[in-house]
Structure 1
Amino acid sequence: MYVPFWVWALTIVGLLAVLAVDLWIVGRRPHEVGVREAARWVGVYIGLAAVFAAGLYVLAGRDPATAFVAGYITEYSLSVDNLFVFLLIMSAFAVPKVYQHRVLLFGILIALVLRGAFILAGAAVIERFSWVFYLFGAFLVLTAIKVVMEGDEDEEFKENAALRLVRRVLPVTDDYVGSRSLVRRRDTHGRLRWFVTPMLMVMIAIGMTDLLFALDSIPAIFGLTRDPYIVFTANMFALMGLRQLYFLLGGLLKKLVYLSYGLGVILAFIGVKLVLEALHTNTVPFINDGEPLGVPTIGIELSLAVIVGVLLLTTVASLVKVRFFPGDDAGDEAGPDEAGTDQPLDHAREEGEEPGAGHETATSGSSRTSGS
C-alpha cells in the first residue's frame, strides 16, 4: 500500500497529539489510577484504533484494514506479557502509586521512539533481503518453544546496560523527589551536582525492556503484513493503550495462567506462516535452485481468526483453571495496585543492596527476556 509522506506526517502528529493530551492530564494532577478510570481510557484507545481501522477500510480497502486489526490484536496481546515485567520493575524501584501512570507514560514514550527506529530498519532489511523471512520465521518458532517451555518459571528484574551506564555517569538519589527525574544536590564533598532520581531510572528500565520484547513482536507483525505503515500504526496504537491496561487488569494478570502458552501458539503460527510465504516466493539459490515452491500460504483473514480464537481460548481456560482448579499460588499475588509502595529506597541499603538494582522480586507467567 502506497502511503504518501503527508499521510505519514499527519498520522505521527495525530498520535503525538493524543499522547500530549494524556501527558497533560497526568502531569496536571498525579494520582493513583483506579479501575474505572483505567477502563475508560482503555475504551478510548481501543475506540481510536477501531476508528483508524474503519478509516483504512474506507480509504484503502479491506486487506489493509484486516491486516491492521490482526497486527493490532497481535501486538496488544504480546504486550500483555510485558505487564508482568513492568510489575517487577515497579516493585524493584518501589514506585509510589501516584507516579506509576507517569512512569509508564514516559517509559512507553521511549519505547515508541525506539520501536519506530526498529520498524524502519526492519522494513529496509526486508525490502532488500527477502530471505530474512526465513530467519524471522525460525526465530519466532524458537521463541514460541521457549515461551511454552519456560511459561511457569519465575523471573526477576535485572538492570540492563543502559541503567548501569547511567549509574556510572551520574549519581542516583536514594529517594524520589516528587515526579522529578533530575535534581541538583550537594555531594559528600559539598559540591553542587546533578543527581538522577529513581524516577528516571525506572522510565529507562521500562522503555528498554519493551524494546527487548519488540525483538519478537515486530517480526511477528511483519509476518502478517509487510506494509511499514500498518506495522508502525499497529505498534503505536497497541503501546499507547498499554498503560491503562496495566491498571485495568490488576490482579487478573496472575489469573492468566495459560497466557504464555497462548502467546507461544500465536508466535509459532506466525513463524510457520512466514516460512510458508518465504518458500512461496523463494529466491534463495540453495533452496529449489532459487525457484518458488508451490506450498500453500495462510491468508490474513485466517490469521486473524486464529489469533482471536487462541486468545479467547487461553483467557477462558485460564479463568476456569483459577476458578475451579486453583493452584497453590495462582491469582493470589499482588497486582499492579500493590506493586508501588511508599517504602523509601534507602531501605534496600539497610539490607546491603543498591536501590532498585536487581532486587530478587519474582513473578510467574512471563517468560520473555526482561533485560540484562
Structure 2
Amino acid sequence: MDVSLTVWVLTIGGLCALIAADFFIGGRKPHDVSIKEAGIWTIVWVVLAVLFGIGLLLWGDGQASGEFFAGYVTEKSLSVDNLFVFVLIMAKFAVPSIYQQRVLMIGVLMALVLRAGFIAVGAAAINTFAWVFFVFGAFLIWTGWKLIQDARADEDDEDWEEGRLMKAVQRRVPSTNTWHGTKLFIHENGKRLATPMLIVMLAIGMTDVLFAVDSIPAIFGLTQDPYIVFTANAFALMGLRQLYFLIAGLLKKLVHLSYGLSVILAFIGVKLVLHGLHETTDLHVPEISIPVSLGVICGVLVVTTITSLMASKKAEEKAAADKADKTEPAGTADSQD
C-alpha cells in the first residue's frame, strides 16, 4: 500500500486528536472507572478501529483492509495477555484505584512511541534482508512453545518481580514511597524525588515494550506494510486502558488464553517461514492468505474463550462442592450432639 507523507501526517494527527479527546473527556480527572464508563469507551475504540478498516477498504483495497483487521485482532488478543501483568504491577506498587487509569494512559502512550521505533526498524530489516522472515518465524514458533510450557508449569503469578532495568531505575533515581496525587516529581528537604506515579508508569511502559518483542514480529507475519502495522498497533493499544477496567475481573477466568495465544503465534510463525521460502527460493510452497489467517485467529480466540469459561465454571463448582464436603461433618456432629 503506497502511503504518502501527507497521509502519514494526517493519520498521526488524527490519532493524537483521539488520544487528547480520550484524556480530556475521561482521563483528565483522577477517579474510579466504572464498568459502564469502561464499556462505553471500549466500544468507542473498537468502532473507531472498524471504521478505519472500512476506510482502508473504500480508499485503499480489500488486501489492505484484511491485513489491518487481521493485525488488529492479533494485537488486541496479545494485549489481553499484557493485562495479567498490569494487574500484578498495580498490586505490587499498591496503586490507588483513582490513579490507575492515569498510570495506564501514560504507560500505554510511552509504549506506543517506543513501538513506533520497533516498527520502523522491523520494516527496514524486512525490506533489506529477506532472511529476517525466517528469524521472525522461528522466534514466534519458539515463543508459542514457551507459552505452552509456562501454562503447563502453572507458575504462581504472585511471584512477579520488577525487571533489572526497573530495579536499576529505582536504585539510581531518588524517590519517595508516598503518593502525591498525579505528580511525577516532588521537592522534599531540598531534594527532587520521583513519586510512585512515575515509577509505576515506567513499569507499565517497559512491560508493554517487552511484550512488543512478540507482537511486532507477529503482525509483520500478517503484513509487511509499516502503515498498517503502526495503525493496527495504535488502535489495539489505545483501547487497552478501558479494557483493563472492563475485564480485570474476568482475566482469572481465561485459563486457556496462553494456549490460544501460543497457537496463534506458532501459526503466524509458520506463515512467515512459508513466505520467506517463497521470497528467497524457487520452491513452490503454499502461502497462507489473509482471510485464512483472520479466520484461524478469530476461531482460536473463540474456542479458547469458550473452553476457558467452561473450565473456570467447573473449577468453581468443584471448589464449592469441596467446601460443602468439609463443612458437612462438622454440621452433622453438631446435630448429633
TM-score by length of 2: 0.91
Q: Give identity over the alignment, percent.
A: 56
Q: What SS does the corresponding residue of 1:298 show, helix, strand or coil?
A: coil
Ranges of 4+ aligned residues in structure 1 off by more than 4 Å = 327-330
Task: Give the counterpart of 1:296 among 286, 291, 294.
Answer: 286
| CA positional deviation for 1:292 | 2.4
Partner of 1:262: 260
Partner of 1:166: 169
Partner of 2:271: 273
**8 Å CA contact 1:31, 1:97 repeated in 2:** yes
Greater share of residues in helix: 2
Aligned partners of 2:317 and 2:84: how far apart in 1? Answer: 19
Compared CA separation, residues 247 and 132, structure 1 to 2 (3 A):
same
Partner of 1:113: 113
Aligned partners of 1:160 and 1:325: how far apart in 2? Answer: 33
Q: What SS does the corresponding residue of 1:184 show, helix, strand or coil?
A: strand
Aligned partners of 2:317 and 2:95: how far apart in 1? Answer: 29
Compared CA separation, residues 6 and 201, structure 1 to 2 (3 A):
same
Q: Match for 1:321: what amino acid?
A: A
Compared CA separation, residues 242 and 329, structure 1 to 2 (3 A):
farther
Q: What SS does the corresponding residue of 1:116 show, helix, strand or coil?
A: helix
For residues 3-61 of structure 1, give each alpha carbon's deviation from its aligned partner in whole angstroms, at most 9, with x where no partner exists: 00010111111111111112223454211111111000000000100110010000001
Partner of 2:333: none
| CA positional deviation for 1:329 | 7.8
Q: What SS does the corresponding residue of 2:186 show, helix, strand or coil?
A: strand
Aligned partners of 1:281 and 1:28: how far apart in 2? Answer: 49
For residues 251-287 of structure 1, give each alpha carbon's deviation from its aligned partner in whole angstroms, at most 9, with x where no partner exists: 11000010000000000100001111111111xxxxx
Q: Match for 2:294: what amino acid?
A: L
| CA positional deviation for 1:164 | 3.0
Q: What SS does the corresponding residue of 2:187 show, helix, strand or coil?
A: strand
Partner of 1:287: none
Task: Give the counterpart of 2:239 among 234, 238, 241.
Answer: 241
Aligned partners of 1:254 and 1:123: how far apart in 2? Answer: 36
Task: Give the counterpart of 2:160 among 139, 157, 160.
Answer: 157
Partner of 1:342: none
Q: What SS does the corresponding residue of 1:183 show, helix, strand or coil?
A: strand
User: Is 2:3 the partner of 1:3?
Assistant: yes
Q: Calculate the aligned-residue CA RMSD, in Å.
A: 1.5
**8 Å CA contact 2:111, 2:208 repeated in 1:** yes
Aligned partners of 1:92 and 1:102: how far apart in 2? Answer: 17
| CA positional deviation for 1:144 | 0.2
Compared CA separation, residues 27 and 63, structure 1 to 2 (3 A):
closer
Q: Match for 1:10: what amino acid?
A: L
Partner of 1:127: 127
Aligned partners of 1:178 and 1:328: how far apart in 2? Answer: 43
Gaps of 5+ in 2: 321-337
Aligned partners of 2:248 and 2:278: how far apart in 1? Answer: 44
| CA positional deviation for 1:75 | 0.2
| CA positional deviation for 1:327 | 8.0
Which stretch has the larger CA shift, 319-328 or 263-272?
Answer: 319-328
User: Is 2:93 the partner of 1:90?
Assistant: no
User: Is 2:307 the partner of 1:307?
Assistant: no
**8 Å CA contact 1:162, 1:204 repeated in 2:** no
Q: What SS does the corresponding residue of 2:223 show, helix, strand or coil?
A: coil
**8 Å CA contact 2:71, 2:229 repeated in 1:** yes
Partner of 2:334: none
Partner of 2:197: 199
Q: Match for 1:40: what amino acid?
A: I
Q: Match for 1:182: what amino acid?
A: F
Q: Match for 2:156: what amino acid?
A: D
**8 Å CA contact 2:147, 2:259 repeated in 1:** yes
Q: How does 1:308-323 map to 2 (within 5 A)?
A: 308-323=298-313
| CA positional deviation for 1:63 | 0.6
Partner of 1:25: 25
Aligned partners of 2:172 and 2:239: how far apart in 1? Answer: 33
Partner of 2:323: none
Q: Match for 1:19: what amino acid?
A: I
Q: How does 1:34-183 map to 2 (within 5 A)?
A: 34-151=34-151, 152-155=154-157, 156-183=159-186
Partner of 1:348: none
Q: Match for 2:195: what amino acid?
A: T
